[in-house]
Amino acid sequence: MLQSVQGLSYAIVLCDDIDRMKAFYRQVFSFPVDSESPTSLAFRAGGVLLALRKRERDYDGRGGGAESPGVQLAFLVEPEEVEPCYRQLVEAGVPILDSPADQPRGHRTVYFSDPEGNVLEVYAEI
């Protein structure tokens, strides 16, 4: 099925409060902006477009919130960058879900959340 699909090029996070989410993602990440409208913002995140889009369509559903996050996004860094990223997040007042830790799958991770409760992860392969 869908054998012609060869990769992921575009990830979209659906948002209830698009302005708050735009401000958060701009504060946390230094990705260049690819495009922006009043209801969306897309960053060039390496080989993937990372977009925020306001929930406007009938099939967009409702936000997940902290009890039921709608998505988890993982951002790869070098192993020595996990701790500095963690400190920067703490200094910026970003909610930390799980402090830096080595995982059995061979990653060092720190988990945090965006304003709408989506889980974000900075990780390194160790």
Q: Identify the pLDDT of residue 68.
A: 62
Q: Say if 1-56 and 65-126 have the same CATH topology.
A: yes
| pLDDT per residue as tens digits for the range 74-108 | 999 999 999 999 999 999 999 999 999 999 999 99
- The pTM score is 0.87
Strand, coil or helix: 23: helix
CATH class, 65-126 region? alpha beta
- Say which CATH topology domain 1-56 has: 2,3-Dihydroxybiphenyl 1,2-Dioxygenase; domain 1 (3.10.180)
Q: Which residue has better confidence, 64 or 123?
A: 123
Q: For residue 3, what pLDDT band results from cuts at 50, 70 and 90?
A: confident
Domain extent listing, the chain:
1-56, 65-126
In this predicted model, what pLDDT tens digit does every residue of 37-69 receive, in sequence order? Answer: 999 999 999 999 999 999 988 887 776 665 666
* Interior angle at CA 91, CA 24 and CA 96, nearest 5: 70
How far CA 122 is from CA of 21, 47, 113, in Å, comes to 18, 17, 11
